């Protein structure tokens, strides 16, 4: 198959924002893809060569791509760069200049997908002094044989800016309607949630149908989408929801780690599927030494501790462990512990369908719990009073709150889903601020006065899991300290966009747009009905969305969360309704 076919599909895809239409465009295309190329095609649709949990990047900054465009088109670099400053997207620059150059190119050979994959692999594996030159050479060879549309998407892929607007859920929808039935969507999604590999799912379905999907199991090396907790605003509601009895665990304020241990293999994945193995060599070593079996997948929270007292330290301490460089020093400076709270796989057996009490027992049985390897503090409670006492202890021990966990037969590990089998309750819920929200930055406004030359406020959005789109909920301008104000442009730079993100609904236009990527924790006084914001439009009131009153940044950048894991529109509506029953709503 030729790359021109996929590029043409991208062009059509970009012309719509409707999820159903996107699904059918992708599905019609997938029907034409040979089985042996399907896996690569699924990754390329997402601008990659591998599933998400491979941390390999093409390493081509915009300027290197511009240099290559200049070389292939014969247009002087300064002109290419000026065009880029105007347009902002190296892909569109390539499209424009290659269109002009094509009129004079005599010899070119059709660019196949196989050749694109081969060259992209060469680009991602280039290392050393010559790497920039080699990357340019491999990209130039593809651009030489590209039409304008192919060139546009090739340049977007290598510069990490491949944004067709199709989310992974839309791609899974398309895979489902191409190779299975809508009724089988849930089973297909489960297979995806336990492998995090959309290419594998598509190829399995195309080759062996649902039989193949049923044969997919949890495996060491394939991260599992994490299970998430719902929230309720009081302990009594939680106990009621759990039918009077449940387990409650300390909610540690740290970094979630999913650890995969196999024969000669150990990897730590974040909840965003990043590889954190190098950041926690101490945890990796102790877990491997203190595990008594052959293969296991566990989850736990890594927290920083005081080296003398062993007391849990704030979240700000543990995030310093996420550094890429000088890890050895950071490991010495910031001692940590992991509190294991779940086991998902053990010695060949998938435990995700076992009830919580069974999984919990296995943690104690198969790990030597001592030193930096700990198990989360847990108690089975039968009343609100017991829960309250445990919650107060959790706060005294410097935890964020508690997580209640169902202990019934249905208490399986639901990969990738948020439900009431786990319910969180944080100390923020007790103060003046009703709640904390994890919101996505989608825009910025230039500052004035003391903030001149910096960003003065940010436009924040939440994710609507039903529509797969983002909607704005507030402008955020408080809670920024000097260092955050100084660092904001560099933190957000990677997500800068010349146009409104494809998947964003908004009535407000900021000075700068950002693609969804960075999540900030925000507290607010109230969830309100807002005519200015687009999240949850028309759900509570015709013509209005929902917003947050008096939003304030808590200082926590949630690098561990993906944009789809931000506080969802339905969670916010639920919070609004809880307020409505507790107080009178403000509009």
CB closer to ligand AMP out of 122 and 378: 378
* Strand duo 418-426 + 401-405: pairing: antiparallel
Site track for ligand AMP across 175-194, x = CB under 6 A: --------------------
251 binds ligand AMP (CB under 6 A): yes
Selecting among 251, 426, 454, 561, the annotated active-site residue is 251
229 binds ligand AMP (CB under 6 A): yes
Stretch that binds ligand AMP, among 160-168, 247-255, 361-369, 574-582 (CB under 6 A): 247-255
345 binds ligand AMP (CB under 6 A): no
252 binds ligand AMP (CB under 6 A): yes
337 binds ligand AMP (CB under 6 A): no
* Strand duo 228-231 + 418-426: pairing: parallel
Calpha distance 471→376 (Å, rounded): 36
Tell me which residues in 356-385 interact with ligand AMP (CB under 6 A): 376
Tell me which residues in 462-501 interact with ligand AMP (CB under 6 A): none
Taking alpha carbons only, the member of 209, 162, 217, 171 closest to residue 193 is: 217
Taking alpha carbons only, the member of 224, 170, 227 closest to residue 465 is: 170
Token look-up 């043409």 returns: 8
Stretch that binds ligand AMP, among 111-119, 200-208, 246-254, 347-355 (CB under 6 A): 246-254
CB closer to ligand AMP out of 322 and 541: 322
Calpha distance 201→430 (Å, rounded): 44
Stretch that binds ligand AMP, among 99-107, 251-259, 325-333, 528-536 (CB under 6 A): 251-259
Q: How far is the CB of 576 from ligand AMP (least distance, A)?
A: 19
Q: How far is the CB of 374 from ligand AMP (least distance, A)?
A: 11
Strand partners, 253: none
Residue 341 tokens, joined: 């709270």
CA distances from 552 to 474, 498, 521, 577, 579 (A): 10, 27, 9, 22, 19
CA-based R_g, the chain, Å: 25
CB closer to ligand AMP out of 315 and 470: 315
Helix (H, G, I), strand (E, B), or coil: what is residue 441? strand
Taking alpha carbons only, the member of 454, 493, 504 closest to residue 477 is: 454
Residue 516 tokens, joined: 């969804």
Among the listed residues 249, 317, 354, 571, the single contact to ligand AMP using CB under 6 A: 249
Tell me which residues in 279-308 interact with ligand AMP (CB under 6 A): 301
251 in catalytic set? yes
Among the listed residues 67, 96, 256, 475, the single contact to ligand AMP using CB under 6 A: 256
Show Cβ contacts of residue 457 under 8 Å, excluding neighbours closer than 6 positions. 444, 445, 447, 475, 476, 477
Among the listed residues 3, 179, 341, 429, the single contact to ligand AMP using CB under 6 A: 341
Q: How far is the CB of 425 from ligand AMP (least distance, A)?
A: 10
Site track for ligand AMP across 405-444, x = CB under 6 A: -------------------x--------------------
Calpha distance 543→561 (Å, rounded): 31
For 4, list phi and psi in degrees, rounded to 5.
-60, -35
Comparing every residue's Cβ against ligand AMP, the nearest one is: 256
Residue 84 tokens, joined: 């880029």
| Per-residue buried b or exposed e for 124-138, using 16+ beta carbons within 10 Å of the residue's own CB | bebeeeeeeebbbbb
- Kindly list the residues in this chain that would bind ligand AMP in the complex (CB under 6 A): 229, 249-252, 256, 271, 301, 341, 376, 403, 424
Residues acting as catalytic residues: 251
């Amino acid at each position: 198959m030729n790359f021109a076919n996929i590029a043409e599909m991208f062009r059509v895809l970009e012309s719509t924002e409707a999820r159903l239409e996107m699904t059918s465009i992708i599905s019609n295309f997938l029907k034409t893809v040979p089985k042996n190329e399907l896996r690569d095609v699924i990754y390329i649709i997402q601008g990659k060569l591998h599933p998400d949990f491979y941390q390999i990047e093409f390493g081509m900054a915009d300027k290197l791509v511009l240099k290559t465009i200049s070389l292939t088109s014969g247009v002087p670099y300064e002109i290419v760069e000026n065009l880029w400053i105007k347009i902002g997207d190296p892909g569109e620059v390539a499209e424009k200049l290659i269109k002009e150059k094509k009129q004079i190119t005599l010899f070119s050979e059709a660019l196949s997908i196989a050749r694109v994959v081969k060259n992209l692999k060469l680009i991602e594996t280039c290392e050393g002094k010559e790497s920039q030159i080699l990357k340019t050479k491999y990209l130039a060879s593809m651009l030489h044989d590209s039409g304008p549309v192919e060139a546009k998407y090739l340049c977007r892929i290598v510069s990490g800016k491949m944004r067709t607007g199709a989310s992974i859920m839309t791609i899974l929808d398309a895979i489902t309607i191409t190779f299975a039935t809508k009724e089988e969507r849930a089973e297909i999604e489960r297979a995806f949630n336990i492998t995090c590999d959309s290419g594998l799912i598509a190829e399995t379905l195309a080759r062996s149908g649902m039989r193949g999907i049923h044969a997919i199991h949890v495996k060491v090396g394939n991260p599992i989408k994490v299970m998430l907790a719902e929230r309720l605003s009081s302990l009594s509601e939680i106990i009621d929801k759990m039918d009077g009895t449940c387990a409650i665990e300390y909610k540690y304020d740290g970094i979630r780690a999913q650890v995969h241990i196999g024969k000669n293999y150990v990897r730590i994945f974040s909840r965003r599927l990043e590889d954190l193995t190098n950041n926690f060599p101490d945890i990796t070593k102790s877990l491997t030494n203190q595990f008594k079996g052959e293969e296991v997948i566990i989850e736990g929270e890594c927290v920083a501790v005081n080296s003398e007292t062993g007391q849990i330290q704030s979240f700000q301490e543990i995030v310093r462990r996420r550094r890429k460089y000088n890890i050895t020093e950071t490991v010495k400076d910031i001692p940590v512990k992991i509190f294991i709270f779940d086991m998902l796989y053990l010695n060949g057996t998938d435990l995700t369908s076992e009830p919580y009490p069974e999984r919990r027992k296995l943690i104690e049985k198969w790990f030597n719990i001592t030193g930096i390897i700990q198990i989360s503090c847990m108690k089975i409670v039968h009343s609100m009073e017991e829960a309250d006492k445990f919650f107060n202890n959790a706060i005294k021990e410097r935890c964020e709150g508690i997580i209640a966990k169902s202990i019934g037969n249905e208490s399986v590990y639901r990969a990738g889903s948020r439900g009431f089998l786990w319910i969180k309750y944080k100390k923020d819920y007790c103060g003046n601020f009703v709640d904390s929200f994890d919101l996505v930055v989608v825009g910025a406004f230039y500052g004035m006065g003391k903030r001149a030359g910096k960003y003065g406020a940010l436009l924040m959005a939440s994710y609507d899991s039903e529509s797969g789109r983002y909607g704005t909920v507030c402008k955020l301008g408080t809670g920024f300290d000097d260092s955050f104000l100084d660092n904001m442009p560099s933190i957000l730079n990677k997500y800068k966009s010349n146009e409104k993100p494809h998947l964003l609904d908004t009535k407000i236009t900021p000075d700068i747009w950002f693609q969804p990527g960075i999540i900030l924790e925000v507290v607010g006084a109230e969830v309100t009905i807002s005519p200015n914001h687009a999240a949850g439009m028309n759900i509570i009131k015709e013509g209005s969305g929902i917003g947050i009153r008096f939003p304030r940044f808590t200082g926590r950048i949630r690098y561990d969360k993906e944009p789809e894991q931000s506080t969802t529109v339905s969670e916010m509506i639920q919070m609004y309704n809880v307020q409505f029953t507790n107080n009178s709503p403000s509009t």
